[in-house]
Structure 1
Amino acid sequence: MDSTTDGYFTRAPAAAAINTKPCVLQNFILGSLVGGFTIVPGLLGNVLSLIILGKERKKSPTIQALCLLAVADSMLLLSYLSMVAFGIRGMTNGYYEALPVGVFTSVYMYELARIFNQVSTFLTMILMWQRYVAVCLPHKAKQLCTVRMVNTTSACSSVAACVFYLPNFFLYSTKSSSDRFFYPVRRSFVLNTYFQTIYSLILTYLVSYIVPVASLIYMSVAILRSLKSHSNSAITTNSQNARKDLTKSSIAIVIIFVLCQSFQPIRRVLMWAYDSYIPKAKCDGDLQYFAYIPHIALMLNSSANFSVYILFAKGFRGKLIAILTKKTAVTPIDSRSNKNPIDNTSNTEATTSTRNCKKNHPPS
């Protein structure tokens, strides 16, 4: 499981025989360069998304979910800044001088990132639920598709994520040896078989990957079937096209989510297979090259949504161009509605969706 033995960390001179130059280079390239060039554009994209979508968030539950998702993704990216600092410090001061930053990052900051990632996961599920109800259960949209409902479920899921991952902050304590060598020490309950099997393996798998992925795939397939049936319609309005763009954006977010999150279960298996995961993931360990991949995948997932909006949402592109060129955005608006075209709720969508979804999803 995710435990560590003191032997790998206790004496810097004993570890001096290890060639640390490849590790320093790897930490700088993957942690600082790749991580930095993912975090900075990701933060910028999330800020621009909040600026563009923020004006409409009180009118649309889906847009409110997208704004909250951008905040959670930004917090995850910020929590990985210590990884960037670790690579830079290693290049400037050497591997062992940077090791305290690496240990602190592994023991605490990665766990903080996991909380924000779980919050982002719940928000992605809430986002897709809004689209699913609007497209396939339109007769329930007035009750379930509300900004208040999104805020309530988001707050509850955020608290649940913090509570669920709180024990992970107590898996290790950090100590310093007589020669100032900083290292983590596992706590006794980490070795408990029930704790490892029930909490760290079964429950973590279910909460972080299996349940979210299964539900997201189910809702995405149902929505895609509805979109396919709508594609045969000869006449579509601007607002209908905009809502389809938003639905496509949501599905693209799900696809990226599933791909990027798939590395976390692999990491959990390795943590279960190796009794001392953290030492194995350090310099000259068996898992040193894999250790960065799950974290980079999470950063990519939290940075990708802005690109998705640009690719699939015409109204979003128009407003982005307006901001960059300092002009007034011109976006298509349905003559029968005053809502922004990126809004997700309308009677038109509800009417056209009911016939295609009632067969598979009868009213409860």
Structure 2
Amino acid sequence: MNTNSTDQGSFSVPPVTLSPAQIKQCNDFYIVIGFLIWVFVILGVVGNSLTVYVFRKAASQTSTMYLISNLAIVDAMVALLFIPVSFSPNVASLATFYVAYISNIAYTLNQISIFFITILVWQRYVSVCKPHDTRYWTKISVLRGMAICAVLLAICTYSPGFFKYKVIRVEGGLFQASPTSLGGNTIYYYLHTVVVMNLVSYVVPVIIISYATFRLIQDLRKRNPLASSQTAKRDLTKSVVINVFLFLVLQSLRPTRYILLRLFNPYSKAIRCQGPLMYFAPFPPFATILNSSVNFIIYVLCARRFRKRVTTILLCKKNNVGPVSSSDGAKIDVIKF
């Protein structure tokens, strides 16, 4: 089998003979990228774990807290699954297995995270801008159903990705990800990867999130910033709005990656040392890790009550936090722990 054969419209990646200077350049780049990835992976796991702990330890849990804690769990898993990106693509064909299988699991979890962010922003929009509909849309049972549907939709969308590549052994005992008949099918590529995946993972969530965020910003401007009764609500809404802006910027690299996966064959070779995508390849997963990791920092900076609880935990002080009431000023469905 000719493992370097290409589909029509794709670029073949020829073998490259590297000089010591080029190898050093690659190694320096991988060290810097690997260090940054590990920093944000650790931040993501620790920060998201603290987020879950803070919200789950509350005597009562609001619908927003329920969504944020579930989002934190998924984001921690996303950060862990992107750890292989921190290693050199030349190490023991790791890039091959990452492209073929691991990245698809990671992006499936990231898609669940995107859906959870969309649900969270929609829930804040309803709570703030449509108070008459709050009681229904902030019920834990309703949000749990939406979360389950989001998980199933993400799995259905990304499950064909596990059949796009097959791992074969090539010269030198190395492995290479070669497109299957499904992965090399032009109709499948344009219908699933270009249309369905971009719609589900970026276009539709961005439309919903952008509209809801615009309305939230309008509401923030109207409210009196000095009203103490609105402080917690404003802090939470600010956190969500900042998360959204970060999401819009960092997730914009994903559609580009889908196109390059098709154009460069094999992709696992294109991302290796001095390959055409060497400098681009780490940035889509790094942006995803960053998106999953910095939510904790945003909550600490913007939500004073959350910051106080984290400080209490880190300083090992006695936790005097009592039951948490809804910041929306209305009784809503809660979970007791």
Please indicate the TM-score interval, normalised by the length of the shorter structure: 0.7 to 0.9
Structure 2 counterpart SS, 1:174:
strand
In structure 1, C-alpha distance between the alignment counterparts of 2:280 and 2:257, rounded to whole Å: 9
Structure 1 counterpart SS, 2:4:
helix
Equivalence for 2:173? 180
In structure 1, C-alpha distance between the alignment counterparts of 2:49 and 2:228, rounded to whole Å: 30
Once the two structures are TM-superposed, the CA of residue 293 in structure 1 deviates from its matched residue by 0.7
Q: What stretches of structure 2 of length at least 5 have no aligned partner?
A: 6-13, 333-337
CA contact (8 A) 1:62 1:344 kept: no
Of stretches 318-327 and 49-58 in structure 1, the one that deviates more from structure 2 is: 49-58
1:41 counterpart = 2:63: no
Q: Residue 307 of structure 1 is aligned with which of 275, 297, 305?
A: 297
Once the two structures are TM-superposed, the CA of residue 27 in structure 1 deviates from its matched residue by 2.7
TM-score (structure 2 length as normaliser) = 0.88
Q: Which structure 2 residues correspond to residues 232-247 of structure 1 after superposition, within 5 A?
A: 236-238=227-229, 240-247=230-237
Once the two structures are TM-superposed, the CA of residue 159 in structure 1 deviates from its matched residue by 1.5
Larger Rg: 1
Of stretches 134-143 and 266-275 in structure 1, the one that deviates more from structure 2 is: 266-275
Once the two structures are TM-superposed, the CA of residue 15 in structure 1 deviates from its matched residue by 4.4
What is the identity, as a one-letter code, of the residue corresponding to 1:27? Y
1:346 counterpart = 2:329: yes
Q: Residue 219 of structure 2 is aligned with which of 226, 251, 258?
A: 226
In structure 2, C-alpha distance between the alignment counterparts of 1:16 and 1:272, rounded to whole Å: 21
TM-score (structure 1 length as normaliser) = 0.82
Structure 2 counterpart SS, 1:200:
helix
Once the two structures are TM-superposed, the CA of residue 156 in structure 1 deviates from its matched residue by 1.4
Once the two structures are TM-superposed, the CA of residue 81 in structure 1 deviates from its matched residue by 2.0
Cα RMSD, aligned residues only: 2.4
Q: Deviations over 1:270-319 (max 9, x none)?
A: 33444544332222221111111111100000001100011110001111
In structure 2, C-alpha distance between the alignment counterparts of 1:348 and 1:101, rounded to whole Å: 51
What is the identity, as a one-letter code, of the residue corresponding to 1:61? S
Aligned length: 320
1:177–1:23 CA distance, 2 compared to 1 (3 A): same
In structure 2, C-alpha distance between the alignment counterparts of 1:180 and 1:57, rounded to whole Å: 57
Equivalence for 1:125? 118
1:6 counterpart = 2:3: yes
In structure 2, C-alpha distance between the alignment counterparts of 1:67 and 1:139, rounded to whole Å: 25
What is the identity, as a one-letter code, of the residue corresponding to 1:6? T
In structure 2, C-alpha distance between the alignment counterparts of 1:183 and 1:270, rounded to whole Å: 17
1:255 counterpart = 2:258: no
1:29 counterpart = 2:35: no
Equivalence for 2:312? 322
Q: Which structure 2 residues correspond to residues 148-227 of structure 1 after superposition, within 5 A?
A: 148-177=141-170, 179-227=172-220
Identity level (%): 28
Structure 1 counterpart SS, 2:167:
strand
CA contact (8 A) 1:57 1:64 kept: no
Q: Deviations over 1:124-147 (max 9, x none)?
A: 011111101101111011111111
Q: Which structure 2 residues correspond to residues 59-98 of structure 1 after superposition, within 5 A?
A: 59-84=61-86, 86-87=87-88, 95=90, 98=91
Q: Deviations over 1:191-245 (max 9, x none)?
A: 222111111101111111111111101000001111111137x6x234x211111
CA contact (8 A) 1:42 1:304 kept: yes
